[in-house]
Amino acid sequence: MGNRVIVVGAGLAGMAAAIAACEEGAGVTLIDRGSVGLGTNSAISNGFFTGTTDSYGADDYVKDTMEIGRYLNRKRTVETVAEKAPGVMAIMRGLGVPMNISDSLYAVRPPNARTIPGVTLVKQLAAAAGARREIHIVRDLYVTGIMAAEGTVTGVEGIDKEGRDIVFNGDSVVLATGGAGAVYLRNDNQKNIMGQGYCLAARAGLALMDMEFVQFFPIVVSGEHLPDTIVYPPFHKEVRLVNSAGENLIEKYGLGSLSEAAMKRRDELSILLCGEAGKGAVLLDYRRVPDELWGEHPLSLLSLIKHDFKTKLLPVSPAVHFMMGGVRTDEDCRTGLAGLFACGEVSWGLHGANRRGGNALMECAVFGTTAGRNAAHFNGQGRGRSASAQAEKGRQADRGAIRKGAQRTLSDIRHEIRRAAWDHAGVVRSEQGLKKGLEITARIGSELAGIIPEGRRQVCLKADLDAALFTLRAILTASLGRKESRGSFYRSDFPVEDDANCKKNSSLTYDRANDTFASTYVETV
């Protein structure tokens, strides 16, 4: 058996990393806080991978991706995806993921029109990972820290399902924890995606890049008692997006078609819809769609929502969809800590100021595979314990009760964090709002520090809120420093893109002793 590789996170990126490391002869521990695959954002995706094909070349892919990212992408990372996409998609198909290929898209083909394509994707990869004896799957483990000695990673520590502190030692670690969409009040992410990976990496001494760039999807269900579910394009020609006065908003703002606006002009549309929402409801009107089309994808997915689409309009609004920034890595997924690799949404480099549709899954597949392969061959092993590498760190978590006299629960604090993120680091930002957001996070942080959780569930929730607050502070800090509007990032007090002064990447480093961020800007490479 080769190296012991620890993979943290079991979405597409993490499963791809685990399988790739296993194929390279490594023993693998694949860790997730919940079930493998289904609890991740990969499971609720539309199953589109954007990449090079026989009819769409590498030069075109690089050009289009860089333009959408407003040239803050790391170009070598973009080129790496262009080079590796066809081979990695062949691997995915070899693992049993059904796909159709057309133009620049690889599309997962679910077994029926009512199955979310992402579910088909993660179930197939979970089956492939589970069939490999060399992959040890650990569920219900909440990772609380990355361990290192002499500048090299040695493993991770966490809390198991019994509430015990556990250490997993290994020769290398792959961080594949996803993004931070659920930090926001309005989002279409899984509810526990709250920036845990950014927090783990920054507290291990690594830089966070471009954290101000948060992508909003303009059309997400927003009605009372309805799920915050993305409404997938393409839209049938009979579907209209209207305001409370019944005006067709696509026609009003000259955005072409609803599908084109949602896929190619989503940031502009999000800003416009926020303005419309200030005057009244924004709604999707499906009443003109012919009955025979409701069984076709993606209309068929709306059957999962309890709403009478034939007689009632559907309330929608923008919501957080994706984080473009993250842990600085190179094209081999190496971070600044030897033996630690990062891939998927937690990492930075591919997207720049805005993510191209379909690049999220392609990023996970390409760099998950790359991270797993490189982690399997990392030659700095030997500092931690050997392969089975599992030991109790300490006592069972008997952590006391909520602070005596506390006026609010952790759930109350979670709501306030999410509200602060939406109000002060949302679609439209300003210096005044960002500074107010930082004041709120400082107050919440003091309150959160004084709460002692009771039992594993509350311990993990507090850790989630700590990560969410940490990530929100990073977003606010990076947003204050960027005095322009670019890609997904819009400041009402600096509404114009400024290449002369701002065509640079933000970089945040965390000072653990003082609990502060230092912000710098580096030329895009």
**8-state DSSP, 313:** P
- Alpha-carbon gap, residue 418 to 424, rounded angstroms: 10
SS3 state of residue 412: helix
172-175/208-209 β-pairing: unpaired
Which pLDDT belongs to residue 408? Answer: 81
CATH topology for the 214-320 domain: Flavocytochrome C3; Chain A, domain 1 (3.90.700)
d(CA 458, CA 175): 24
DSSP letter for 312, please: S
Class of domain 4-213+322-394: alpha beta
Delimit the domains of the chain by residue range: 4-213+322-394, 214-320, 396-495
Residue position matching structure tokens 């996803």: 178
Quick one: tokens of 272? 């416009």
**Confidence (pLDDT) at 35:** 87
Strands (E), 88-171: 99-102, 105-108, 135-138, 142-149, 152-159, 164-169
Give the whole-angstrom CA distance, residue 232 versus residue 234.
6
> Which residues are CB-neighbours of 87 under 8 A, at least 6 positions away?
none
Q: Is the pTM higher than 0.85? A: yes
Same fold, 4-213+322-394 and 214-320: no
Structure tokens at 235: 């839209």
CATH classification for the domain delimited by 396-495, as one of 1.10.240.10, 3.30.1330.10, 3.50.4.10, 1.20.58.100: 1.20.58.100
The three-class DSSP label of residue 13 is helix
> pLDDT per position in the chain (525 positions), as tens?
578 999 999 999 999 999 999 999 999 999 999 989 999 999 999 999 999 999 999 999 999 999 999 999 999 999 999 999 999 999 999 999 999 999 999 999 999 988 999 999 999 999 999 999 999 999 999 999 999 999 999 999 999 999 999 999 999 999 999 999 999 999 999 999 999 999 999 999 999 999 999 999 999 999 888 989 999 889 999 999 999 999 999 999 999 999 989 888 888 999 999 999 989 999 999 999 999 999 988 999 898 899 999 999 999 999 999 999 999 999 999 999 999 999 999 999 999 999 999 999 999 999 999 999 999 999 864 444 433 334 444 434 444 444 544 558 999 999 999 999 999 999 999 999 999 999 999 999 999 999 999 999 999 999 999 999 999 999 999 999 999 999 999 999 999 999 999 999 999 999 999 999 999 999 876
Q: What are phi and psi of 26, to 5 degrees?
A: -90, 150
Residues 271 and 428 sit within 8 Å (Cβ to Cβ):
yes
Amino acid at 46: N
Contact 507, 74 (CB under 8 A): no
